[in-house]
Structure 1
Amino acid sequence: MSSSFRAPPIPSSDEIDLVALFQVIWKQKKLVLAATASAGLIAAIYAFLTPPQYEVSSVLRPAAINELDALNRSEIYTLPPGDALVRVGASLESYDTRLGFFRSNQKLFKAFEQPGRTLEQSFEEFNRNSIELILPDPKKANSLSAYIKLEMSYPKGVDGVAILNGFVDYAIATEREQIAADLDVIVKNRLNELKGKIDAARSNYEVDKEARIASLRETDSLRRAQLQDELKALRAQLKTGRIDRVAQLNEAIGIAKSLGIRKPSTPSALGESERNGSSSVMRTEINNQQIPLYFMGVEALEAERTVLMQRKSDDFTEGRIAQIAKELQLLQSNREIEVLNRRENEDLFLAGVQPVRAEEARLRNLSIDMSRLKLVTIDKQALEPLRPVKPQKALIILLGLILGGFVGAFIAVIRHLVKTRQSQPQSAALSMLSNSPTMVGSDTGLNKP
């Protein structure tokens, strides 16, 4: 028994006939066009119904050096242009600054308010989705200078230009106020420090002054006591000398009485008088020996003794006593102490405070117009956009048409494959039925005798 049935060749799954595929798609071009048109229509509806989104941006760069010269020349607050830009950038990024601007300009944010939401919740949505701070990439050296870029996207009906420019101005003003507050605190602290130095110098001066006055008074007291002791000793010495002189005179008077010397005489004259009895001759005797005191005669000696015994003070006999009295008189008042106590403006005599006073005067007269302080340069202000950035209608429609075409082609291929698989079993069955009589006939012929 033999058979003429041949199975159709099965094409390899790894090979794709592009021409056949194109023919399949072309045969169902109406389906592909319908899918493309439907997708394009859906994309067009989405593009035209989606609310437009606009975008504005502002660029900040470091200010010129001369803009911050007044602040830096104060020598108490140094702020290079780069640091000023960083501070403004930090203020722009600060949640507190953004919330403060949001609260201060609620009329500009009416579009972001929704029923059932608090002010902070509305701001949170705006802060999260609308404003973006862009810094230069430190790994790239394309930018010639540092900058800060602020971008804002907003829907139609919102004045994004006013919001962004107002926010930049608000952040700069806030940072300027913060710098002014910092400067004011630094100046006050510096003035307090200088005042403390002056108070310390004044306290030291008072201590030195009191110590000087005490030292002068102590010196005067010591000198006064020394002079009084010396005066007392001199007076005692003079009194003792007077008493001794009276005793000498008493002895001399006794001797003179025993010798009968009434008038002043000399040893030679006394000898001649004894030999001659009496004489009217006057003699002058010159020798280098001290004549005993009793030769002064009883009358002279008694007269001297009477005077000495009647004397009440011996001060006039010693010149040193008058000198001591003079010094004691001078010590009754110390003119240096009086001058020190009569000083009216004692701050003029403080030592080492001239630089401190000069610095204090400079700080008190320090005048920096913070309203004119330019922290950054606004290189680009936000301008009214010419067209929305979203949605891009042409691109969306084009992508919709392309996607619809692919979907239509895919559906066409799937339909062709389904139809092909359904027709293959029927073709095989018909082929087997058409070949079965031949097979029977051949069998019958073989069985004939």
Structure 2
Amino acid sequence: MASTPTTTQEANEIDLIELVAALWAQKLLIISLALAVVLAAAMYAFFSKPVYEARVYLQSPTLNGIADFNYGRTSGAELTPFTIKDVYEVFTRNLQSESLRRTFFNEVYLPSLPASERGGSQDVLYANFLRTLTIGLPSKEQPDRYSVIVQGENPAQVADWVKAFAARAGVAAKKEMISNATREAEVRARNLDQQISTLQETESRIRQDSITRLREALAIAEAIGLQNPPIISGNLSVELSAGMDGQLTYMRGSRALKAEIKNLEARKSDDPFIGQLRALQIKQSFYTDLQVNPDTVSVYRQDGPIEQPDRPIKPQKGLIMLLGLILGGVLGLIIALVRYFVGSGKDRF
């Protein structure tokens, strides 16, 4: 005879009540397992070495901080001034560079390890270092703010490492910026030197050409016996005097021509006769001597102080014990259910 739905429902209710009763009967087992796991979790939480975290936030420099980078860099000087973005991009590139990480790993991280650990695999040690020191990238809310984060067991050490890493990135960026500025100034000074040399060579050739023309005029004056310029009165004298160049240069007379040739040949320097020379030399001297003092410039700005952490971020004792309690209770229920079904001869839950 088929069972009715009412009979099936009553059987299910009886099985559930029986199951609850069986679990209640094994409450000491469940509680014991839960307490054992909680105790193990507590021992792990209290005996694990604490991990501290220090971080520093870094932002772009101010206009005042980059002012000395732009000393002598004007549109008139043909050198484009650096912007805050230009300088900060150099810093952030150095901050995230692999070379800076490797240098810090070799010079700071490795010496801090015990001698027994230092001899291990360098790849493994470097992977551990990358987990110890991380670079926080900008967010949408603050698109120009980076951060340096260091985790470790020594609170004073992590604070020092954060400060040292940011400072090293700043020093590297300053060197690169100063090198860029100095290099451009050197190129500008070299261009000016080339212009000066060209003007000096041109003036020297002009002087030699003048001597050649004067010698030819002297030969004509001596050929006709003209020692002094002719004396002519009236307006014709003015016109003739003004036109004593070119083919009429011999009209100056042999005495004047000899004196002028002697003076040109004895000239030690043509510099005083070059109109633009002094202005170019002043510019060249400025760019040759241009130096940027690293103490007067900055490539980043620290947002807030670097404080030594006084509370570890790991282990989180309360959370670990709570998870231990939950895990212990679940484990106790599973074992109690297995014992119940095995004891009652049932094959399924």
TM-score range, shorter chain: 0.7 to 0.9
The aligned amino acid for 1:109 is S
Deviations 1:186-222 (A, max 9, x none): 3223222211111111111111211222122233335
1:110-129 mapped onto 2 (5 Å cutoff): 110=113, 114-117=117-120, 124-129=126-131
Q: Deviations over 1:357-399 (max 9, x none)?
A: 2311322453532222122111134311121111111101110
* Partner residue in 2 for 1:260: none
Judging changes above 3 Å, is the alpha-carbon distance between structure 1 residues 102 and 6 closer, same or farther for their aligned structure 2 residues?
closer
Deviation at 1:165, TM superposition (A): 0.7
Distance 2:265 2:67 in 1: 49
Q: Paired residue for 1:216, among 214, 217, 220? A: 214
User: Which residue, 312, 326, 333 being the options, matches 1:409?
Assistant: 333
Q: In the alignment, what sits opposite 1:43?
A: 41
Aligned-partner Cα distance in 2 for 1:13–1:195:
107
User: If you compute each CA radius of gyration, which structure gives the higher value, 1 or 2?
Assistant: 1
CA RMSD of aligned residues (A): 3.6
| Map of 2:299 onto structure 1 | 375
C-alpha contact (below 8 Å) 2:66/2:298 kept by paired residues: yes
- Whether the 8 Å contact between 2:51 and 2:315 is mirrored in structure 1 is yes
Aligned pair 1:89/2:92, yes or no?
Answer: yes
Query: What's the offset of the Cα at 1:353?
Result: 3.0
Look up the equivalent residue of 2:344 and give its one-letter code.
T
- Unaligned 5+ segments in structure 1 are 229-325, 424-449
**Residues 393 and 112 of structure 1, relative CA distance in 2, 3 Å threshold:** farther
Match of 2:262 in 1: 338
1:246-395 to structure 2, matched below 5 A, reads: 330=254, 333-395=257-319
Q: Distance in 2 between matches of 1:98 and 1:48?
A: 33
- How many pairs are equivalent? 317
Aligned amino acid, residue 64 of structure 2: N
Tell whether the 8 Å contact from 1:71 to 1:77 is kept in structure 2 after alignment.
no
Aligned twin of 2:133: 131
Match of 2:67 in 1: 69
Aligned equivalents of 1:112, 1:380: Cα separation in 2:
36
Alpha-carbon contact 1:111-1:158 (below 8 Å) kept? no
Equivalent residue for 2:173, pick from 154, 172, 175: 175
Structure 2 unmatched ranges of 5 or more: 74-78, 226-249
Q: Is the 8 A contact 1:77 1:183 kept in 2?
A: no
**1:60–1:148 Cα contact (<8 Å) kept:** yes
Mapped partners of 2:2, 2:102: distance in 1: 86
- Comparing 345-354 with 48-57, greater Cα deviation is found at 345-354
* Percent sequence identity over aligned pairs: 22
Structure 2 counterpart of 1:373, one-letter code: V
User: Which residue identity does 2:151 align to in structure 1?
Assistant: S
State the distance in 2 between where 1:201 and 1:173 align: 42
TM-score with structure 1 setting the length: 0.61
